[in-house]
Amino acid sequence: MTELLFIRHGPTEWNEGGRIQGRSDIPLSNSGRDEVRSWTLPASFQSWACFCSPLARAQQTAALLGFETPQIVDDLQEMHWGEWEGHTLDTLRAIDPEAFRRNEDRGLDFRPAGGESPREVRARLAQWVASLDEEVLPAVIVCHKGVLRAALSLATGWDMFDDPPDKLREPCAHLYTIQGNSLMVKQLNISLKKPELSP
């Protein structure tokens, strides 16, 4: 079965403050750890292999989901935001609003100063997916928002000029199948929240 289930890491203090993380190795916050502990991976995925970004917040999320020894993959790291890491989007827009808007309007070719573009994230993800052997599948992928967006772009052709064809909600997992060397959407927004108990 050639399926991949993508999950974004839990919250960090930088997430909570609206700060751009990129490759900055920020761990889960205390509240982020508590949140991930409240998630439940559906039983059908619990026996799958796990691949994980090397960044601490992703590895901690994988461990809290029950994957103690995931295979670490550099290509699953967050988009590199270069000189913009640690800033908020509001502060960056305030420096030169017109220049920032022109950059945002480049879609897949948007590029932070000293960083990489979404197109480059998509390319490294596609290369990694194409390298997978069926023997290691199906698998859970614990990664980052930029990688989730890259997977959706690969599967749907979304060019990032406009809103995504489907909103990727949190906390959710997103299931894809591999067809040849490409991803195809099977089911988005699989809730990780534990079901509410009836009174």
- 138: cis peptide before it, omega within 30°? yes
Q: How far apart, in whole angstroms, are the C-alpha atoms of residue 7 and residue 120?
A: 20
Catalytically annotated residue among 35, 78, 85, 116 = 78
Structure tokens at 21: 């993380």
Does the annotation count 78 as an active-site position?
yes
For residue 114, give Cα distances in angstroms to 18, 34, 98, 127, 196: 20, 34, 19, 22, 45
**Under 8 Å between Cβ of 32 and 15:** yes
Structure tokens at 191: 């809730």
Beta bridge mates, 49: 139
Does the annotation count 87 as an active-site position?
no
- 23: closest CA among 112, 101, 122, 97? 112
- 149: closest CA among 50, 92, 79, 87? 79
Residues serving a catalytic function are 9, 78
